[in-house]
Amino acid sequence: MDAIRWQGDSLALLDQTRLPVEEVWNDYTDYRAVAEAIRRLVVRGAPAIGVAAAYAVCLAALEFQTLEPRDFRAAMDKAARALAASRPTAVNLFWSLDRMKLTLSAAGGDAGAIPVLIREAEAIHREDIAMNRKIGRCGAELVPPGARILTHCNAGAIATGGYGTALGVVRAAHAAGHVEMVYCDETRPLLQGARLTAWELVKDGIPATLITDSMAASLMAQGKIDLIFLGCDRMARNGDFANKIGTYSLAVLANYHGIPFYTVLPSSTIDMSIPDGSHIVIEERAPEEVTHFAGVQTAPEGVLVHNPAFDVTPHRLLTGIVTEKGVIHPPFTERLAELFG
Ligand code: MRU
């Protein structure tokens, strides 16, 4: 299962806004359209945004290849700025753009670098899948037989280069025969849990039960959740992390009920440049995402709306962090510095 395909001189993206009803792939040859696709959540999920942006840099290079070297360089800088402005929270976007910029400079900074840029974007994509597979193996060791797992939003194959982070753990644990049930929060307001996570799980034959976000607490109180695995958009060097809005509430609930709570992420999601979660920019999205449901107005004209796409969970609510280098337990600042500093 995948959502991003490089086709030599164009990029194909599975349109995630149309799932689960339609599986439509869009072709892109213009980096501006890819930036717009990221903004509109045609492609979404921190690692997937990073991979798509890397390929968008290749599209820009192909478009500008006939320019004089100085103009080529200026046009490439402008393209990178436009892509960086698409969404602010997931650090993978900036990590990937920085990696592509360094690659371009090291390869001479002109159009001769195009094959090297394409190889680098493909490497970013391939490495992400490989990291997810390792993450899956590490995380699966935490899952006892008969586990009932709760997840939020979509940290699956289509949110990454392929396979998934939190759903990578679920996939590996399911292959080991340890998953009794995966509860998917629907994830208001854009329903990534209902539209995307439930779709991935049903497609893979993994037992899945959809709940609304507000049902999680009562399931926990009834002892029906054994573990929580969810994704991450940016982790600070002390372990505080941003993820889909609603993650923080789940962390508080898990803490209250004594349920192990793990975030699952590749190293490309760790931002060692910021000391804690207060430095993470949280994306505020359009009010219509809250005032309308499936295109139908559900709130009165004139009401004020607060619509942050993410929240920040303090590291002290985390049981552990599942990465491609293993599962990290507190003290997070020291352990993250040892492994990723
Ligand atoms: O707004 P989205 O759908 O891009 O939000 C995605 C999430 O919050 C995911 O949990 C996160 O990016 C990790 S994806 C492996």
Ligand 1 atom, smallest distance to 44 CA: 4
pLDDT tens profile 7-31? 999 999 999 999 999 999 999 999 9
Concatenating the DSSP letter of every residue in 104-140 gives HHHTTSSGGGHHHHHHHHHHHHHHHHHHHHHHHHHHH
Q: What is the pLDDT of residue 260?
A: 98
Whether 159 is in the pocket of ligand 1, judged by its Cβ within 6 Å, is yes
Please give the backbone phi and psi of residue 305, each rounded to the nearest 5 degrees, phi first. -130, 140
Residue type, 85: A
Please give the backbone phi and psi of residue 178, each rounded to the nearest 5 degrees, phi first. -100, 0
Whether 47 is in the pocket of ligand 1, judged by its Cβ within 6 Å, is yes
Whether 192 is in the pocket of ligand 1, judged by its Cβ within 6 Å, is yes
Cα(160) to centroid(ligand 1), Å = 9
Whether 243 is in the pocket of ligand 1, judged by its Cβ within 6 Å, is yes
For 317: left if phi > 0, alpha if psi spans -120 to 50, otherwise beta; the answer is alpha
Ligand 1 atom, smallest distance to 196 CA: 3
pLDDT tens profile 110-149? 999 999 999 999 999 999 999 999 999 999 999 999 999 9
Cα(106) to centroid(ligand 1), Å = 31
Which three-class secondary structure state does DSSP give residue 234? Answer: strand
Q: Which of 16, 192, 248, 312 to mutate to test the pocket of ligand 1 (most atoms within 8 A of CB)?
A: 192
For ligand 1, atom 8, the nearest C-alpha belongs to 244
Whether 234 is in the pocket of ligand 1, judged by its Cβ within 6 Å, is no
pLDDT tens profile 310-339? 999 999 999 999 999 999 999 999 999 999
Long-range contacts from 34-38, C-beta under 8 angstroms, 24+ separation: 34/59, 34/83, 35/82, 35/83, 35/85, 35/86, 36/86, 37/13, 38/83, 38/86, 38/87, 38/93
Whether omega for the bond prior to residue 266 falls within 30 degrees of 0, making it cis, is no
Rounded Cα–Cα distance for residues 41 and 286 (Å): 13
Concatenating the DSSP letter of every residue in 274-322 gives -SSGGGSPPPB--THHHHEETTEE-S-TT-----BSEEEE-GGG-SEEE
Q: What is the pLDDT of residue 308?
A: 98
Residues designated catalytic: 233
